[in-house]
Amino acid sequence: MAGIFDFVPAIVLLPFVSFLVALAVGNRMPKGGAFAGIVATAGSFLLSLATFFTVSQGQTYNQTIYTWAQGLDGAVTLEFGLLIDPLSALMLVIVTLIALLVHIFSLGYMNDEGETGLPRYYAGLGLFTASMLGFVVADNLLMAFMFFELVGLCSYLLIGFWFREPGPPSAAKKAFLVTRFGDYFFLVGVVAVFATFGTAAFAGSESFPHLAEQALAGETSVNTFGFAAETWFTIVGLLVLGGVVGKSAQFPLHTWLPDAMEGPTPVSALIHAATMVAAGVYLVARMYGFYALSPTALAIIALIGGFTALFAATMGVVKREIKQVLAYSTISQYGYMMLGLGGGGYVAATFHLMTHAFFKALLFLGAGSVIIAMHHNENMWDMGGLKEKMPVTYYTFLSGSLALAGIFPFAGFWSKDEVLYETLIHGLGGSPILLVAYAMGLLAVFFTGFYTFRMVFLTFHGKPRSQTARDPHGVRWNVKGPLAVLGVLAATTGVVNMVPVEKLLGIKGIDFLHQWLDMSLDGLTAHHYAELTPYSSAYIGGEATTVAIGAAVSLGLAIAGAGLAYVLYNVPEPTEHTDKLGGIKTLLYNNYYQDEYQVWLANSVVRPISRGADKFDQGVVDGVVNGVSSVSLFSGSRVRRIQTGVVSNYAALLTLGLTVLLLGFGLLGGWFQ
């Protein structure tokens, strides 16, 4: 039966076709190939919706569609396949929707602004969308890795879109190299998974999470290279996590993301907020059955997440450029997702992934709208008072900001609160390390509220602080439309998973996302993951009390942060208050000297090592090779001297040779014995 699942490859291929079209004939098309991209992503979006509804009927799909290396005699088989379960269906809808909106927004941001090189831009967007979708539907780790790399490549191409200016190419290179550093570990992890389990499939009875589970239960045995099974699974999990940390911009590989803001703003919205950075978190969610087996890996994920959330939030507090604030908030929010995953809140993290995709795309597009209006001046201190001039942007941006800050009842509140709640109850249930991560996450809520509203007030409130802000450039429907769609979504997405309401008021059955993620294939359901995780839950008072306390505390902190911003910056003539921070100000402006530290690492540690390696290569390896050649050249030039050309010498040599041979045979044959 030709079901909707037969069309799933088309979801991936449509944007790829638009990439080819934009590349080949984009110059001869109106709008530089934008319409091809819009049509393709719209088609993908519709197909994703259809897939989504089919999945909601309880159907799933796990099929190999192409075997590109058949393993003989027990060797591994390399395949491309599709895995459509509630998680990937949800992600498909998110990615295609945001890609579609970003394509439309690009009409306003790129075409209307008279940018050149548009076919290249739309080709990059198309290829990026295709790669991300391929990554989402991948049914095995190797395929996921390949699309992961493609996503990284597109990120490089799009960040460096304005390659004639000095900043973007450098930022593109940095993004590429830093994520590649993480992907190196990912690749080693992929190989380790193949070597251990002989398969890299995500789902099914022959999948590696399932095999790992059985191996821990002693039902089957896998090659663990001499380690205890759990230790080895932790090592493999952490290797793959390297790629996640790079791609999802977690500490210490987060430094590329703020620089990546050099790219066009729609690209920032698509790649560095909603989708590509989500790839890392999505990968952890995809193979959560594997991570859930290792308490150490989970604890490390939670700690990285909590620390990154706090760390990035503090850096966002002092930034002057609107996109920089958003960049650090992105890092911080992905920290929350990692915190949720590490804290055993699989559903919570997925929930936050979804809501964040919407509200962060919204914020970036809103920032893009502001940047159009400000004639590409991104400094918030030159803005102010834009509220009256661009109401659509203001209200949608406000919706996104409320969601980001986690203010009730916007989407971000529900998801962030659930992440923190899950971490809290599991931390109380005997995992003190989660409580540390929880504390960091909670503290970050305050900073989030502060920097978010500092940004809002500086941009939209007060009096205009520059001539441009007094007379901003207008924006058209193609900017306002996507903003409106996302603004509504950012405000309302929370309803899909109102767990606190369910717990407090006792209304059953409104935790739709929990139910949704439970419909997956065997072994991929949220319940199964909950059983696998090593955590137990404990509550303060009772379940409802804990929910109430957790929500109240985080909401209170968010409002406190927003309130502080209100006091400091919601005045007609706001001034910089960063001087009050004293020495910390410099530290924050310089991002905790992370870049300097990494440059120092590269210059003072890596460079001498590579210099030594180079010396070894030039001296020893090349020396041996050159030595062999010069020795043979020299000996050849000497040995050839016996070829005198005088026939008597040849005869003498022949004679001597024959004599020696005869003597040798004679001695061997028993003379003088």
Which CB, 512 or 665, lies closer to another protein?
A: 665
Buried b (16+ CB within 10 A) or exposed e, 128-137: bbbbbbbbbb
| DSSP letter string, 372-415 | HHTTS--BGGG---HHHH-HHHHHHHHHHHHHHHT-TTSHHHHH
Structure tokens that stand for 307 in this block: 């620390």
Which CB, 69 or 660, lies closer to another protein?
A: 660
What is d(CA 568, CA 575) in angstroms, rounded to the nearest whole number? 8
Strands 78-84 and 61-69, sheet pairing? antiparallel
What is the smallest separation between the CB atom of 185 and another protein, expressed in angstroms? 57
What is d(CA 216, CA 482) in angstroms, rounded to the nearest whole number? 48
What is the smallest separation between the CB atom of 667 and another protein, expressed in angstroms? 11
What is d(CA 461, CA 479) in angstroms, rounded to the nearest whole number? 21
Footprint on residues 476-495 left by another protein (CB under 8 A): none
What is the smallest separation between the CB atom of 630 and another protein, expressed in angstroms? 18
Which CB, 391 or 666, lies closer to another protein?
A: 666
Residue among 410, 436, 409 at smallest CA distance from 423: 436
Contact 359, 400 (CB under 8 A): yes
Which CB, 217 or 653, lies closer to another protein?
A: 653
Instruction: Give bridge partners of residue 174 from the DSSP assignment.
Output: none
Please report, for residues 405, 552, 561, 562, the alpha-carbon distance to residue 566 in angstroms, rounded to integers and kept in the order given: 13, 20, 9, 6
Residue 673 interacts with another protein (CB under 8 A): yes or no: no
Which CB, 613 or 656, lies closer to another protein?
A: 656
Contact 517, 511 (CB under 8 A): no
Which CB, 164 or 672, lies closer to another protein?
A: 672
What is the smallest separation between the CB atom of 658 and another protein, expressed in angstroms? 6
Which CB, 164 or 638, lies closer to another protein?
A: 638
Applying CB under 8 A, the span of 206-214, 335-343, 618-626, 660-668 interacting with another protein comes to 660-668
Q: Does residue 258 sit in helix, strand or coil?
A: helix
What is the smallest separation between the CB atom of 68 and another protein, expressed in angstroms? 55
What is the smallest separation between the CB atom of 635 and another protein, expressed in angstroms? 14
Residue among 493, 350, 324, 321 at smallest CA distance from 419: 350
566 burial class (0-12, 13-18, 19+ CB within 10 angstroms)? middle
What is the smallest separation between the CB atom of 639 and another protein, expressed in angstroms? 10
Q: Tokens 């997405």 sit at which residue?
A: 493
What is the smallest separation between the CB atom of 651 and another protein, expressed in angstroms? 5
User: How many residues can be counted in the chain?
Assistant: 673
- What mask, x for binding another protein by CB under 8 A, covers residues 613 to 652? ------------------------x--xx-xxxxxx--xx
Contact 504, 395 (CB under 8 A): no
Structure tokens that stand for 86 in this block: 């509630």
Which CB, 231 or 635, lies closer to another protein?
A: 635
- What mask, x for binding another protein by CB under 8 A, covers residues 376 to 415? ----------------------------------------
Query: What are the helix (H) ranges across 461-542?
Result: 467-470, 477-492, 499-505, 512-517, 526-532
Instruction: Give bridge partners of residue 61 from the DSSP assignment.
Output: 84
Which CB, 228 or 652, lies closer to another protein?
A: 652
Residue 27 interacts with another protein (CB under 8 A): yes or no: no
Footprint on residues 128-167 left by another protein (CB under 8 A): none
What is the smallest separation between the CB atom of 164 and another protein, expressed in angstroms? 57
What is the smallest separation between the CB atom of 645 and another protein, expressed in angstroms? 3
What is the smallest separation between the CB atom of 673 and another protein, expressed in angstroms? 12
Contact 267, 159 (CB under 8 A): yes
The alpha carbons of the chain give a radius of gyration, in whole angstroms, of 30
What is the smallest separation between the CB atom of 617 and another protein, expressed in angstroms? 34
Which CB, 602 or 656, lies closer to another protein?
A: 656
Q: What angle do CA 291, 295, 297 make, to 5 degrees?
A: 55
**72, 668, 671, 673: which one binds another protein (CB under 8 A):** 671
Sign of CA pseudo-dihedral 392, 396, 401, 402? positive
State the number of binding residues for another protein (CB under 8 A): 19
What is the smallest separation between the CB atom of 666 and another protein, expressed in angstroms? 6
Which CB, 512 or 634, lies closer to another protein?
A: 634
Q: Tokens 């502060």 sit at which residue?
A: 450
Q: What amino acid occupies position 537?
A: S
| DSSP letter string, 427-461 | HHTT-HHHHHHHHHHHHHHHHHHHHHHHHHHHHHS
Footprint on residues 172-231 left by another protein (CB under 8 A): none
**231, 590, 629, 655: which one binds another protein (CB under 8 A):** 655
What is the smallest separation between the CB atom of 656 and another protein, expressed in angstroms? 5
CB-based contacts of 137, cutoff 8 Å, min separation 6: 8, 11, 12, 82, 83, 84, 88, 92
Please report, for residues 33, 172, 249, 268, 327, the alpha-carbon distance to residue 162 in angstroms, rounded to integers and kept in the order given: 18, 10, 23, 13, 19
Residue 667 interacts with another protein (CB under 8 A): yes or no: no
Which CB, 571 or 660, lies closer to another protein?
A: 660
Applying CB under 8 A, the span of 214-222, 419-427, 581-589, 663-671 interacting with another protein comes to 663-671
Which CB, 166 or 666, lies closer to another protein?
A: 666
What is the smallest separation between the CB atom of 670 and another protein, expressed in angstroms? 9
Which CB, 467 or 643, lies closer to another protein?
A: 643
Which CB, 225 or 665, lies closer to another protein?
A: 665
Binding site for another protein (CB under 8 A): 637, 640-641, 643-648, 651-652, 655-656, 658-659, 662-663, 666, 671
